[in-house]
Each structure stands twice: as C-alpha cells, then as structure tokens.
A and B are shown apart, each in its own frame.
Chain A
C-alpha cells in the first residue's frame, strides 16, 4: 500500500512541482478556453494568448523562485 502511495505522490509531483506555476497555467488554459469556446473569439488569437502566456509564466516562475531563495538565504533583494 505504501508503494502505491509513493507512486501516486511521485506522479502528482510530476505535474504540480510549483503550486504557483501550476495554478497560473491552469488559469491561463481556462481563460483561453473561455475566450475561444464561450466568447467565440478567433481561435488563433486564443492560441497566441496561450503561447505568450506560457512564456510569461515560465519567466515569472523562475524569477519568483530566485527571489524567494535569495530572501531565505541572505535576506537580499533581487
């Protein structure tokens, strides 16, 4: 049973490594889905927002994590 728990925990951690990044990504996809499916916007516009949004999320996740680690180790400002 503990092996099953470990496997499930490990599989979950594959997709939810950083909670902020995970939530931001899911919100972005939901927003794009609403734009295309509910508001009938041009799918290509939705696609562009999805792509650019992902780029921004990656940058923000890396910069945010660097700031947090910097504050934790030396109280320094980044």
Chain B
C-alpha cells in the first residue's frame, strides 16, 4: 500500500483493533465463565447464536447505510463517536486517577460464575440453556459495540475493510490467547487500552462531526492525529492532576474524620 493509503487506513485499523480487543476480552470472560461451569457446548452454542444474529444485523444494516447521504452519515456517526469516545476517555481518566476502581476481569469472572450458579436450578438442560443464554447476551452486546466501532471508524470510502480487518484480528488474537491460557485475560492492560481507544474515538468524533457540518479540516488526516494528540495530552494531564488532588483530599478527609472521632 502507498504511504497515503496507510496514513488513512492506519488510524482506522488501530482504533478498530484496540477497541475490539477490549470488547472481545469482556465477552470472552463471560463465555469462559459459562464454559467453566457448564462445559464448552452451551458456551459455543450461545456464542455461535450471537454471531449469527450479528451477521444478520450487518447484512441488513450494510445496504441501508449506503443509502444515507455521506454528510448526514458522517454527522450522525461523528456525534455517536463523540458521546461514546469521550465517555470512555472520562472513565479512563477517572480510573487512572484512582477515583474509580480499575476493571477487574478476575472479579467479573468470579461474580458471573456465582451469578450463573445461583440462577441454575432444575434440569440439566435448563441449566445449560440459562448458561448458554448468558454467553449469547455477552457476545451479542459486545459484538454490537464492535460493529458500531467498525462502522464508525470506517465511515469513509475504502476504510470499512481495514477497520473490519482490525476488529477481526482482535477477535482472533483474544480467541487464540484465551484458548491457550484458559483463564480470564486479566493481564490485558484494559484501562490503558480504553484510554487509547477513548482518545482515538474522540478524535474521530470531532473529525467526522466537523466534516458532517462542512468543515474542511486543514491537512485532512493530519488534523485527526493532532486531535488525538490533544485528547491524549488532556487525558494524561487531567488524570495526573486529579490523582494528586483526590489523594490529598482523601487523606485530609481521613484526618478530619479521626480528629472528630477522638473528641
């Protein structure tokens, strides 16, 4: 591919790969919980059923999207990307600052396992059905997010295939690692990934929303990189400042509390 093509496709492939990685890891944790409790049959059946629904969704949505005028599509997708990307970035900043706890795949695996165990009563087949349904819901929900991300970052002629390749690569990577490791993928640096994805999706959101409103960004795809750099710097600085002030406020609050108690 020529450099210009990589300059265009690179961010789309990377954003789709990293965002899909996060979603597929979350789905894998639930599928693994189901497989651990009830065996791989209900886990696979639930997963395959969800993938079939997702394939149908793509088959129906794809041709419909082609009919929407490009500016309107860019505007709608841009706004959705702003809401989604900036939401992820906000949460990633708060996790990095220690204000909210990090996402813990081991804890989610344990709680999902406990939840499936308490729900199952009755015959073997009804237990398998309930467990398979849990796998179906998880794969369907995370899969819908992946589809949205692929469509959103690929919302320009020639970018849908690279974005899809990025998402597919993430699915295969997680599947291979998961099958080998056979444990929740808790070592995946999820908040770092979400930080990066939040930055990229927010940058894409500003880019597409602007294009949808008729803005001719100077430097085109260079502007995209500039937006990403600005969101990254903003996120890192905000997280660093909040980490310091929140930690100081917590220790001040604890000192005040013990002073009140000791009176």
Q: Would B93 and A36 count as touching, CB distance under 8 A?
A: no
Select the stretch in B6-14, B35-43, B241-249 that faces chain A.
B241-249
Q: Would B83 and A22 count as touching, CB distance under 8 A?
A: yes
Smallest CB–CB gap between B247 and chain A, Å?
11
Q: From residue 20 to 40 of chain B, which have CB atoms closer than 8 A to chain A?
A: none
User: Size band of the B side of the interface?
Assistant: 35 or more
Dominant SS among interface residues on chain A: helix
With A21-B86, A54-B86, A78-B245: A63-B214 Cβ-Cβ less than 8 Å: no
Q: Please tell me if B99 contacts chain A, counting CB pairs below 8 Å.
A: yes
Q: Would A16 and B83 count as touching, CB distance under 8 A?
A: yes
Please report the C-alpha to C-alpha distance between residue A76 and residue B245 in the assembled complex, in whole angstroms: 11
Residue of A nearest to B233 (CB): A55
Q: From residue 31 to 63 of chain A, which have CB atoms closer than 8 A to chain B?
A: 32-33, 36-37, 43-44, 46-47, 50-51, 54-55, 57-59, 61-63
With A29-B82, A78-B245 given, name 19 new contacts (CB 8 A). Answer: A11-B144, A14-B87, A15-B84, A18-B90, A21-B86, A32-B213, A37-B213, A44-B218, A50-B210, A51-B206, A54-B206, A54-B231, A55-B230, A55-B231, A58-B235, A61-B90, A66-B94, A66-B99, A74-B254
**Interface set of B (CB-CB < 8 Å, partner A):** 79-80, 82-84, 86-87, 89-91, 93-94, 97, 99-100, 133, 136-137, 140-141, 144-145, 148, 202, 205-206, 209-210, 213-218, 227, 230-231, 234-235, 238-239, 242, 245-246, 249-250, 252-254, 256-257
